[in-house]
Structure 1
Amino acid sequence: MHYYKFPIMHSSIFTNYPLISSIVAFFIAQSIKFFTTWYKERRWDVKQFVGSGGMPSSHSATVTALTASVGFQEGFGGPLFATALVLALIVMYDATGVRLQAGRQAEVSFMSISSFLFIGHTPPQVMAGGLLGILTAVIGHLITVASS
């Protein structure tokens, strides 16, 4: 008898390079915000680990790390890369468009809690997050290639 083996049985979530690359990029971006806040304001702000907004964009870092690592692993000409790229472009566009305007409106409407409500990103924040994501994916790819 021949049994079909599901692809998940051949690999582990812990060896999924695109997933790991994305998660690492997210945590690096959030950590940068955490330590930058401490450096600028000399106070620890735990909200920076989970909050939206700020430099660099963790959303952009996450989706560009995913996109680049999918490209490295599956090839840049395939439909999986195209899907990841379109997703990344939508997320990054949304971060500087709708989310930024919503955050600015909230800032005007609720001045006393504006730092909590600022949810969007400026174009430089999105670009910095994108570069961080690509760098994370490249380093992950080099580690993956060196270890195989």
Structure 2
Amino acid sequence: MNLILGILTDYYFLAFIIAWICSILIKTGLTAWKKKTSLDIAEGLKNGGMPSSHSTVVAAITTAVYNIQGLTGLFFVSLVFSLIIISDAFRLRRIVGIHGEEINLLLKKIKKKPIEVIYGHSFFQVIIGIILGIAVSQIVFLIMYW
């Protein structure tokens, strides 16, 4: 029981989980609004979309590390991993989406069913995810330590 209570009251965990939930809920709402459909949490859990959940989560964790540890080695390790994940969400997944388009052209020629193409995130989606992650982490920090 103490382990569960310890996890549920841990700043790092709360910053991460609250940021992730906020990102999913915002993505769900924006997707429903854009598609003019009802809310479907499965839409919020899909890859791509606004905001980038990957960017939100890593920004929240890195901000949490900074808030507790300051400019330490742990912070810089967290920052480097965050930048790798953000780069993946923005660049690599976009390239994979372009490759998916090309694969679909080949599949069309041989009369096969196309694959689902996911493009990753736009720069704006990534930036909004980072801002959301930092904001959530700061709010959780202020609530817990002020």
The question of a shared fold, defined as TM-score above 0.5 by the shorter chain, is answered with: yes
Q: Which moved more, 1:85-94 or 1:13-22?
A: 13-22
TM-score (normalised: structure 1): 0.81
2:53 maps to 1:53: no
Tell me, in whole angstroms, the C-alpha distance in 2 between the residues paired with 1:87 and 1:113. 34
Supply the AA of the counterpart residue of 1:53. G
CA deviation after TM superposition for structure 1 residue 83, in Å: 1.1
Number of matched pairs: 136
Alignment of 1:104-143 (within 5 A): 104-110=98-104, 116-143=116-143
Superposed, 1:1-148 pairs within 5 Å as: 12-44=6-38, 45-75=40-70, 77-110=71-104, 116-146=116-146
Unaligned runs of 5+ residues in structure 1 are 1-7
Identity %: 33
Structure 1 CA distance for aligned equivalents of residues 7 and 142 of structure 2: 19
**TM-score of the superposition, structure 2-length normalised?**
0.82
Which residue of the partner structure matches residue 5 of structure 1?
none
Cα distance in 2, alignment partners of residues 144 and 55 from structure 1: 28
Note if contact 1:107-1:118 (Cα within 8 Å) is conserved in structure 2.
no
Structure 2 residues without counterparts, runs of 5 or longer = 106-112
Query: How many angstroms apart in 1 are the aligned matches of 2:63 and 2:130?
Result: 10
